[in-house]
Structures are given as C-alpha cells and as structure tokens.
C-alpha cells in the first residue's frame, strides 16, 4: 500500500510531467525552424525513471506485505468458515472474537473457545 505522502508526491510529479510535455509542445509549435529551442523546464521528465523505480518498489512492498499476512488471513478465513456466528481478527498480535462486542480469546470460557 502506498503511503499517502508518497501517493501525493507521485501525483504531483505526474502533474509536473504533464505540464512539461504541454510546454514542450507549445515551444515546438511556436518556434520556427531556425530558432533554437530551449527546454529548461524538463526536469520532471528526466526524473520519470526515478518515479518508475519508486512505484515499482511500492508495488513490490505491497506484494511482500500480502505474502507476510497471507497465512494469518487464511487462518481467519478458516475460523470464519467453521464458526459462522462470530467474527475474528488480530489486534496487537492477539486473536479477538466478535459476537455482540469483542472478547480477547484468552477471556473466553472453554465452551466459548470450542463454539
């Protein structure tokens, strides 16, 4: 998952790239063949490779995070499949059971743990 600041930075960069492309089109259209064209505003375009690398790293991190939590999520799905009248989630590393409020698994009676 992309951090909100990273997402904002990427969106700002994409906007700057679009602005640079539009400026380039305008400068090229406005110039004559003999005029030198000055592109002093293309730095966002030069950083596009860097942006791609950041996006790729973010996507890799997201996939790694999914893999890290896969076993936990599979376990919760199995619990929910067998015990349909309760909801389960991990809070601060502890399994919590929901049925009319939350109860840490350690607080359940033996009957509540088996139902």
Question: Could you give the CA distance from residue 45 to residue 91 in angstroms, rounded to a whole number?
Answer: 44
Q: Are residues 66 and 20 in the same domain?
A: yes
Give pTM, 2 decimals.
0.43
Question: Could you give the CA distance from residue 2 to residue 4 in angstroms, rounded to a whole number?
Answer: 6
Q: Are residues 14 and 70 in the same domain?
A: yes
Residue 79 has pLDDT above 80, yes or no: yes
23-74 tens-digit pLDDT: 777 777 777 777 666 666 556 666 677 777 877 888 888 888 888 889 989 9
Instruction: Return the pLDDT at 74.
Output: 93
Q: Are residues 64 and 105 in the same domain?
A: no
Distances, alpha carbon 32 to alpha carbons 24, 28, 35, 41, in Å: 14, 8, 5, 19
Confidence of residue 8 (pLDDT cuts 50, 70, 90): confident
Contacts of 101 (CB under 8 A, 6+ apart): none
Tell me how long the chain is: 115
Q: Are residues 48 and 14 in the same domain?
A: yes
Q: Are residues 9 and 57 in the same domain?
A: yes
Residue 112 has pLDDT above 60, yes or no: no
Q: Are residues 66 and 76 in the same domain?
A: yes
Domain count, the chain: 2
Q: Are residues 72 and 90 in the same domain?
A: no
Q: Are residues 32 and 49 in the same domain?
A: yes
Structural domain of 94? 84-115
Q: Are residues 60 and 89 in the same domain?
A: no
């Amino acid at each position: 998952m992309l951090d909100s600041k990273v997402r904002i930075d990427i969106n700002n960069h994409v906007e700057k790239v679009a602005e640079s492309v539009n400026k380039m089109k305008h400068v090229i259209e406005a110039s004559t063949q003999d005029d030198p064209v000055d592109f002093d505003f293309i730095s966002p375009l030069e950083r596009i490779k860097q942006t791609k690398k950041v996006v790729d790293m973010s996507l890799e991190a997201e996939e790694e995070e999914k893999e890290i939590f896969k076993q936990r999520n599979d376990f919760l799905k199995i619990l929910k499949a067998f015990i349909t009248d309760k909801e389960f989630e991990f809070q601060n590393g502890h399994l919590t059971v929901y049925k009319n409020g939350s109860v840490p698994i350690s607080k359940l009676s033996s009957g509540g743990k088996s139902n």
